[in-house]
Amino acid sequence: MEARIDFYSSEVAQKFIKHIVTAGHSVPDSVLPLRTQELVRLRASQINGCSGCTDMHFKDAVHAGDTWERLNLVSAWRDATVFTDAERAALELAEEGTRIADSATGVSDEVWANAAKHFDEEQLSALVCTISIINTFNRMNVMVKQPAGNYQPGQFG
């Protein structure tokens, strides 16, 4: 399988990616736990059908110490007993933030209030940024049909 275009050799795409990656650097070292960040990135990527990001964030989460069992259950998080209440709230916010067009209200007040019970304002800001950035990468990769399966943890720095 090949991508529709070689996105990584495009001058315009490289400039764009550089800025998105730079924006994303504010989140990994934030007060939002890395484990939660990766769960959110993985779930949004699954929803969007982004094979490249699903591959990357599954592998990065394993590399960071998360378990195969938990990661295998991300798509069924509502019924899985392996997630904390805070992780469930983050996954719920990620789902509504990713499927924003599916609701007349975008992210519901109930989902936001649930997240706010578990995360302070700084963590919520990091969570919103994480969801926004992964959705940007998902959309790019899906549009160009970027193939997946060869990612190695840490490959992109």
**pLDDT of 90-121, one tens digit each?**
999 999 999 998 888 899 999 999 999 999 99
User: What pLDDT shows up at residue 87?
Assistant: 98
In this predicted structure, what is the pLDDT of residue 39? 98
Rounded-to-10 torsion of CA 58, 4, 128, 87: -20
Between CA 156 and CA 44 the distance in angstroms is 20
Per-residue pLDDT at 3 exceeds 80: yes
Residue 46 lies in a domain: yes
Q: Is the pLDDT assigned to residue 84 strictly greater than 80?
A: yes
In a domain, 97, yes or no: yes
Which CATH number covers residue 131? 1.20.1290.10
Let me know if residue 84 belongs to a domain.
Answer: yes
Angle between helices 85-98 and 34-48 (to 10 degrees): 40
Q: Does residue 151 fall inside a structural domain?
A: no
**Structural domain containing residue 78:** 33-144
Helix (H) or strand (E) holding 102: none
∠ CA 139-42-53, nearest 5°, is: 45
20 in a domain, yes or no?
Answer: no
